[in-house]
Structures are given as C-alpha cells and as structure tokens.
Amino acid sequence: MDVNDVVGLFTKSIPQNIETKNTSHGDDDFREALLVDLGNEKIVVKLSSNGFTDEKHLVLWERIAKEYRDLGYYCPQYIRALDGTFPTIMYKGRTCIAWGEEFSKYRSAEELISDKFPDTELVKDGWYTFLEDAMIMDAKVASCHFDYTDLPSAYCMFEVFDPADECDETTADAKKWLAIAKTLPEKYSDRVKRIWNNWLKARRELEKIYHKLPTSVFQADINYTNVLLDEDGIFKGVYDFNIGGREVYINYIVRQAPYVSTSETYEKLEEEETFLKRVLHALDIAKKVYSFSDLEKEAAPLLYKCIRPLWWNASVELKEAGTDDTKIQKHLDAIEYEQTRDIDFFRHM
C-alpha cells in the first residue's frame, strides 16, 4: 500500500496534502506518522511494526485516552478504520498495524518551547512550569486504581513489556553493568560481588511485596515531547500512549521523574543528588492529591536501591573509566553509597 491507500482506509475524503514523519527506533521498531490535511480537518494516521504494537495494545491505548479525557484532560481521540478495525497492512515492505488519531488542537511542550519560549525553555526554579500539573494528572490517575488491563507499561518490573525482551529494563541495566564489572582486574572482584549481592538482596526483598503494591493504568510518558500545552504554556493533556499500560505507581514515579522534570534531562543526572532530588520532588507533588499506602512507603527505598545504583548510566560510566583506577574506585564508591544510604522517603509521602 502507498500513503494514499493507507489514508483511504480511514476516510472517504480526498487528502489535500500528506506529510510523512518517520519516528523509528532502529530496524526492529518501525514507526511512521502520516499528517493528513483533508481541507476541513486534519488527522494523523500512524503505522508501526514492532513487538509491542498490536490490536490488543491499540484497544488499550484507545481506552487510556478515553479515561484521561473523562478526568478532564485533553487527549486526541483514536480513529479506527472505516470498517471499525485497526488494520494490519503491508507498507514499505513491512507488515504494519495502522490507526488514526485526531490532529491535536494543542502543541507539545517541545514544539512550543522551540517556537515561543526558547529563552526560558518553560523552566522556573529548576523545574518545568507544567511539571506539577502533569504529575498531578498522573497522581489522579493513580488514585483511580484503574484495573481494565493486564498489559504492563514499559516501566514494568518482574515482567516484560516487549515479548522479545529477556527481562525488564531495570534488570537488563543491572546485568549490563555486571558484564562490564566482571572484566575489571581481579583486585576488584570481591567488591563487584558485594555490589551485585546488594542489588540481588534489594530485588528479592522488593519482589516479596511488589505485586501487592497499588497500580493503575497510565499513559506513562510525560516527557516534553508528549505533554500538550496551550499557547500560553498551560498544561492541557498528553498524547502518545505507546508505552502505556498497567503500572505500580511508586515504581512509575521513581523510573520517570528523573527524566521529565526539567530541560536538563541527562546533563546533571550523574551528579550525586540530582536523581534523588527529582524523585522526592515528584513525591511531594503527588501527595497533594494521592494518599501513599504504608506498603508504598516500605517499597520506596527498595525500589531506589534496585533502580538508581545500577541504572543505565552505571555501565556507561564504568566503561568510560577504562583502566583508570581512580575513576573505577570513585565509580564503585558511588554505587555502594547509593546502595547503603538512608533516605527519608516517608517525609515526602
């Protein structure tokens, strides 16, 4: 099928213009959006070929968008093909699933910052100005404890989001670090074993209570490319539900908050307190509308010990240290510090 054939599955109107936007993540994760101008309206037709976009997920994402709208947040509506399905088609030599979406009446924070707020980047006092409203939205969704799906979000633990994955992302990050750490000189072997055993212990303790923790069903990606704002920069809602699903709320906070809180997404995360500061700030916001349970308070330090010490950047940092003993020592010191420090999560919950 060509683009006109694809668009014809969703509308009888003749397009005046079709703009193609490829957002693929490598050969195994093909994604393309067709921005369709029908004259009197615009729609977006999306095509995807990967391990986690199928009819079951699309039905889920359609439902998530509806539930968010019912809570008062703007989310573009999903559009099914004229025959009422999310069709599977051949497109550019790939088997793809296709769906339509209402063309958003609001712009993403990314677009608005680039166009209207390049100087401030919509950051005040170190935080995105729309962050609190977006996190309040998540907290309200968490309070609903939606349970209409068993499909997890991409942040899941103790299960996989993509059937092709061998383990969850947190575990994969830790294993990647371990593989590099095992190549260090023999003098570090005892310390590497101790760090790994610390991580395994925290993971075992977390697993005992993890499946009892409160969950809901989230859009699960409030980064600035998905947050929708009016022309004054006021938060209105979200779009892009492709990593959404059922999630343990406290895990979602710890996993996401460090990356969506400000324009300096990655630049300062390796600094000692930045990651934690962003998590605690998110908890402070959430508790304004969400009541954390005793079990969530018990889980918070265990989650932190599972996620932060051997996060994705740990393997990057260790690899970059090379054979420099000073850098290796500093790296291992930082990991053990994060594994053993006492953090007063309770005060923020």
CATH code assigned at 242:
3.90.1200
72 and 196 co-located in one domain: no
35: containing domain: 3-105
| Residue where a domain stops, chosen among 105, 123, 147 | 105
3-state secondary structure of 155: coil
Q: What sign has the CA pseudo-torsion 14, 20, 26, 27?
A: positive
168 and 256 co-located in one domain: yes
| Residue where a domain stops, chosen among 46, 80, 105 | 105
35 and 119 co-located in one domain: no
Structure tokens at 57: 């997920």
Question: What CATH number has the domain bearing residue 45?
Answer: 3.30.200.20
Number of domains into which the chain is organized: 2
| Residue where a domain stops, chosen among 105, 122, 151 | 105
121 and 186 co-located in one domain: yes
pLDDT tens for the 349 residues of the chain, in order: 999 999 999 999 999 999 999 989 888 899 999 999 999 999 999 999 998 899 999 999 999 999 999 999 999 999 999 999 999 999 999 999 999 999 999 999 999 999 999 999 999 999 999 999 999 999 999 999 999 999 999 999 999 998 889 999 999 999 999 999 999 999 999 999 999 999 999 999 999 999 999 999 999 999 999 999 999 999 999 999 989 999 999 999 999 999 999 998 776 777 769 999 999 999 999 999 999 999 999 999 999 999 999 999 999 999 999 999 999 999 999 999 999 999 999 999 9
233 and 281 co-located in one domain: yes
Nearest-angstrom CA–CA distance, 215 and 209: 13
Q: Is residue 39 within 8 Å of residue 13, measured between CB atoms?
A: yes
pTM of the model: 0.93
224 and 337 co-located in one domain: yes
199 and 286 co-located in one domain: yes
130 and 273 co-located in one domain: yes
Nearest-angstrom CA–CA distance, 223 and 274: 17
**Alpha-carbon distances, residue 325 vs 3, 53, 293 (angstroms):** 56, 45, 44
100 and 149 co-located in one domain: no
Of 333, 94, 139, 125, the C-alpha closest to 250 is 139
225 and 316 co-located in one domain: yes
> Which residues, other chains included, contact 190 with Cβ-Cβ below 8 Å and sequence gap of 6+?
none
Q: Is residue 139 within 8 Å of residue 282, measured between CB atoms?
A: no
Q: Other CB atoms closer than 10 Å to residue 117's CB: what's the count?
A: 15
| Parallel, antiparallel or unpaired: strands 30-37 and 17-22 | antiparallel
